[in-house]
Structure 1
Amino acid sequence: MILRWLLPKRLNRSISVDILLFLMIGSVAAFMALPLVFAISNAFKPMDEIFVFPPRFFVRNPTLDNFFDLLHLFNDSWIPFSRYMFNTVFVAVVGTAGHVILASAAAYPLAKHHFPGKQLLFSMVVLSLMFSPHVTAIPNYMTMSWVGLIDNYGALILPAFGFSLGLYLMKQFMDQIPDVLLEAAKIDGATEYRIFWTIVMPMVKPAWLTLILFSFQRLWAANAGAQTFIYSEQLKTMDYAFSQIVQGGIARTGVFAAVTFLMMMVPIGVFILTQSNVMQTMSTSGMKD
């Protein structure tokens, strides 16, 4: 009798309850996917289906005319599409890589070392998360102007390096690493750099994979930054070029649908390629002291 009370209770959930939960979760997932499905469907609709009322959710006669129209518009531009694509990929990749490395390197001493002003610095990082990018737009512009990076790739890449969300996320994950593990590595003769790259970074893999997703998505659609800091047409990003093309009026509604599809697919593709790693490391990286 006493042993029965000590043993954990077993779940007696029936199959009908499991089916009901599955249907509820599936319904919520389908509802959340509706905007994505509608955007994809719109990209392949002909003009008569786009303006039909009441609007149709799914395309009846799929066509690639919207994408061909977008291609013709870029062919008429004096800056080739490949240039806009290079600018976007360069800014997104370099900005994301630099942000992950610098945020991780700054988070390591905040999480695993003691020095004067440590709590003050971390409080400033947390406080900076409260401000939206619109609030810091003018200080960022003044800073970029003082260092001479206006109309330069660095005006988009350098602010991405100092995005405070990455530092906060990495610091919270590094706090979970047992101190005895790092002390054992120091006793074995490992330097701080070796501990950071071979022990700390692999153990916080879920954090920097998640950070890659956030940073890449943020830089991929850096339209506001391109308008504020970049003046030369040959340095502008693809999102800015798309926004200028679709401003041609109602006749370019189909082109706008194609642009929405193209700008949306790349971040979604990055998420699909990395989500399995994120989920796997999230569930297996926990360690107890």
Structure 2
Amino acid sequence: MNLATEASVYTAEAKSRKKISIGKIVKYLAVIFVSLAMVLPFVWMLSASLKAETEIFGFPIKWIPETFRWDNYKDVWTTVPFHLYYLNTLKIAVITTILVIINSSLAGYAFAKIKFPESNKLFFIYVATMMIPYQVMMIPQFMLMSKLGLVNSHWSLIILGAFNPFGVFLFRQFFLSIPDELLEAARIDGLTEFGIYWRIIMPLSKPAIATLVIFSFMHSWNDFLGPLIYLTSDHLYTLQLGIQHFITEYNTEYSLLMAAAVSAVIPTIIVYFLAQDHFIKGVANTGIK
């Protein structure tokens, strides 16, 4: 190879590295921009929760308060029965999440590992209900809960949230990745179908369980429309309704509102970080993008 050829090869490689580096820079800049767009509102909320009412909308924005008003958080818990709203929301979210895991895993196991007529069609019909807007089902569901005497009760929210087509889809897709030979060996050893489900399938399904726990808990915790429709007594209110106490017709206490919002978001962050590793594995194994 002569000097001219070597020079041309070197130039081509340099251009290729330059293109790659520019492409990576653009990707990194895009990631940084999107990350900032997601994080900055939360940072502003946290900053506003520690400010006096007169400081919140000052310009230019002061991200660090001049005086940290920790009393805002104290006032949130004493001005309204915030602890009661917290416990109500926690009760609904935890019970709903447990029921979703049980119902979805049992149905997912049946669709994935038990052969019965028209199983694929039934699965498709059930999962297709995810495409029905909530507004379409809202009135029939309310009429059903009213006839059952569950309006103005937490159980209306728990029952309606306990059956989740997305959860069935998630578990079915995960269970399909478990070899049938493992189940056949268990049947030969004398395990019943429920024994296989409980002693073999569920211990292997921690990623799928963690994924659904995060989605289900966050959905129940952040639900506003459901409690607004079904709950009328103040002592039954969830956090999303209780926060509305800081918004009145004539005034909005933004510092307390932001402090309440920060307090409300903490459990969802804790749940996510506790299940983060399994969540990533679950997303990868079930093909969710």
Class of the TM-score when normalised by the shorter of the 2 chains: 0.7 to 0.9
More moved, 47-56 vs 208-217: 47-56
**1:57 deviation in Å?**
4.2
Rounded Cα–Cα distance in structure 1 between residues aligned with 2:25 and 2:238: 47
1:157 aligns with 2:163: no
Query: What corresponds to 1:4 in structure 2?
Result: none
Normalising by structure 1, we get a TM-score of: 0.82
Matched, 1:101 2:102: yes
From the superposition, tell whether residues 62 and 271 of structure 1 become closer, same or farther in structure 2 (CA, over 3 Å).
same
Q: Secondary structure at the match of 2:210?
A: helix
Spell out the pairing of 1:69-108 with structure 2 (5 A cutoff). Answer: 69-74=75-80, 80-108=81-109
Report whether the alignment pairs 1:37 with 2:43: yes
1:144-176 C-alpha deviation (Å, 9 max, x unpaired): 122221122210100111121111111111111
Which letter does structure 2 place at the counterpart of 1:235?
L
Shift of 1:277: 3.3
Aligned AA (1:174): F
Partners of 2:157 and 2:78 lie apart in 1 by 29
Contact 2:52 2:255 (8 Å CA) reproduced = yes
The 5 Å alignment of 1:9-158 reads: 17=21, 20=25, 24=29, 25-26=31-32, 28-74=34-80, 80-158=81-159
Residue identity matched to 1:169: L
**Aligned to 1:29, what secondary structure does the other structure show?**
helix
> Corresponding residue for 2:200?
199
Quick check: 2:47–2:63 contact (8 Å CA) kept in 1? yes
SS in 2 for 1:247: coil
Contact 1:99/1:163 (<8 A) preserved = yes
Residue in structure 2 matched with residue 171 of structure 1 by the alignment: 172
Distance 1:72 1:103 in 2: 39
Flag as ranges the 4+ runs of structure 1 deviating above 6 A: none
Q: Decide whether aligned partners of structure 1 residues 206 and 249 sit closer, same or farther in structure 2, where only a CA change above 3 A counts.
A: farther
1:92 deviates by: 0.8
CA contact (8 A) 1:73 1:245 kept: no
Partner of 1:225: 226
The answer to whether the 8 A contact 1:46-1:65 is kept is no
User: What amino acid sits opposite 1:269 in the alignment?
Assistant: I
Partner in structure 2 of residue 273 of structure 1:
274
| Structure 1: distance between partners of 2:131 and 2:269 | 27
Identity, in percent, stands at 32
Q: CA distance change for structure 1 residues 73 and 63 in 2, over 3 Å: closer, same or farther?
A: same
Structure 1 match to 2:260: 259
d(CA) in 2 for partners of 1:225, 1:100: 20
Q: 1:6 — aligned with what?
A: none
Structure 2, gaps ≥5 residues long: 1-15
Query: Where in structure 1 are there 5+ consecutive unaligned residues?
Result: 1-11, 75-79
Q: Secondary structure at the match of 2:161?
A: helix
The one-letter code of the counterpart of 2:199 is: T
Q: Distance in 1 between matches of 2:282 and 2:228?
A: 38
Q: Report SS of the residue matched to 1:149.
A: coil
CA RMSD of aligned residues (A): 2.7
The code of the aligned residue for 1:173 comes to F
Distance 1:270 1:279 in 2: 14
TM-superposed CA distance for 1:197, in Å, is 1.0
Q: How far does the alpha carbon of each residue in 1:14-46 deviate from its partner, in whole angstroms, 9 at most, with x for none?
A: 9x9599589544554344322222222221122
Between the aligned partners of 1:30 and 1:222, the Cα distance in structure 2 is: 26
Larger mean Cα displacement after TM superposition, 149-158 or 243-252: 243-252
Larger radius of gyration: 2
Asked if 1:208 corresponds to 2:209, the answer is: yes
SS at match of 2:134: coil
Cα 1:63/1:116, change in 2 over 3 Å = same
